[in-house]
Structure 1
Amino acid sequence: MPSTPTLALIALGLIALVVIAVRVIRSLRRFASARTLVGDSVGNGVGLLKARRAALKVAFAERRPSGQARTRANPAYDRRRGADRRTSNA
């Protein structure tokens, strides 16, 4: 029959398509798990950097004299009048 080779090629093509699809799906799963691990690692590193930055801010604030700490910690503090611009309407 002349349709037998055509059916065989279609079946072979479907089998190859299934094999390729399984490999691609498996690779995508591995990529997703690797992406999750990298994202977690980067997130942890960012968190540690934020914590270090906060600790340095606290350490620098503790080293300043008490008069300077108020003016530098509060950017809205009016140094000329000695009042807080947010509450004085000046």
Structure 2
Amino acid sequence: MVPYLSSIALVVVGLLVLGAVLVAVLRAVRRFAGAAAAASGRVTDRTGLLRARTAAVGVAIRQRRRARIQTGAARVPSGEPVQTGGRP
């Protein structure tokens, strides 16, 4: 029975070490999950802000186009002389 006693003791010690390693790994996984959730939240917030800014730019462009169409403003005023940089 003595040879089995040392084997059983080694198995018990191995299981204790395995349990300690498993607890440490689970703690690390929880910390990583928390950090990943925080990073995901930041990315989501920034993506939402970017979408809002893009929408605001689109609205501003449509408003400017609409204002130009309503006022009939030309892109190049025809009443002003155009300088070409050539000979007078």
Query: TM exceeds 0.5?
Result: yes
2-structure distance, mates of 1:48, 1:68:
30
**Runs of 4+ displaced beyond 3 Å:** 65-69
Whole-Å separation in 1 of the counterparts to 2:51 and 2:58: 11
**Aligned residue number for residue 47 of structure 2:** 46
How far apart in 2 are the matches of 1:3 and 1:65? 91
Identity %: 38
Give the alignment of 1:5-84 within 5 angstroms.
Answer: 5-65=6-66
The higher radius of gyration belongs to 2
Cα distance between partner residues in 2 of 1:6 and 1:12: 10
Which deviations, in whole Å up to 9, do the C-alpha atoms of 1:25-76 show, x marking residues without a partner?
A: 101101110110011000001000000000000111111135859xxxxxxx
Structure with bigger strand share is 1
Bigger relative contact order (CA 8 A; separation at least 6): 1
Paired residues in the alignment total 69
Listed as ranges, the gaps of 5+ residues in structure 1 are 70-90
Give the TM-score taking structure 2 as reference length. Answer: 0.72
Distance in 2 (CA, whole Å) between partners of 1:67 and 1:59 is 12
